[in-house]
Structure 1
Amino acid sequence: MITDNDRNQLTEFLGKLTDTDIFTQREINAFLDFCDLMCVKKGEIIADIGEVGESLYFLLEGEAVLIVGSTVNEMVVGQIPAGEMLGEMSFFDRKPRNVRLRASKPTRLLRLPRGMYNRMRLEYPVITVLLLEYAIISLDNLYRRTSTDMALLNQYVYSIGK
């Protein structure tokens, strides 16, 4: 349950992430009515490989890592800092996840379940459009971080033999 104190913190957080000339205080509060707050301990799995995303997550505090491989042979392939959206790929394309999402430190998440998202699409289409724009930005940030990491890895690998 989101308390008044949580609501104030979340409103401030969301206000920093969005164009507040478009996304008003009233709309932020309406959006929060569709969400719940999750507190995840370090090491806990937020979403696992093979699952289809039934929720969108917003990382308020802490950090998450993207992991591939079995639980015995895991490899971290990315980090998600506070301020990012999580789980948007599987949520929107409804395909099973290819990576495990795990909290790398105590983490607070805002969760938007699919049923509430569907209801929000009908009741607040403007909020939904802004959310989709945010999802595009979040995916772009992930892609840029990943492509930068891959470029550095390639540079390292191919410069060793020279």
Structure 2
Amino acid sequence: MNNTQILKILKNSIVTNIETETSLVKCGSLQKHALLNQIKGITEKIKSLELILEYFEFLLYCQKLKLKVRQKIQSCRNKLIINKGLIKQRIIQKRKKNKTGTEEQKISKKWNKLILRNKKKESNGQPQIKQEQPALNAYKIRRDDQQNQCSFFIIQA
């Protein structure tokens, strides 16, 4: 007998088998019937096939998730490659700003030293150098109060 014949027999006799099984259970003595054994075997196979199908569906779902994750990772990598150049440019620009900033800081430190020197000397009666006029700040003013004359000389930095 092939499977299709067994299924036809099952379809035709399922009602009578259920009735006989319930009557046998009610009587208390369950006898082994060949058709009932076939039904049980087929239902167990169907259940195992259903479990296998569920497992394959789960694997398929996992594969779809993996594909989505891989696509997301690839898009992130592409964005990273694009942004990597921009990030490098920004870092280079910041370094250039920092280099120019340090040069400006060095220059401002020199000017601050000069101003502090002149402030110290101002307490001795010499005038203070104004910060607004950098061209004049390159010269030191010496004043002779007795003669009302001013003389200039270059400050060595």
TM over 0.5: no
Structure number with the bigger relative contact order (C-alpha 8 A, sep ≥ 6) is: 1
Structure showing the higher helix proportion among its residues = 2
Structure number with greater Rg is: 2
Scaled by the length of structure 1, what TM-score is found?
0.31
Structure showing the higher strand proportion among its residues = 1
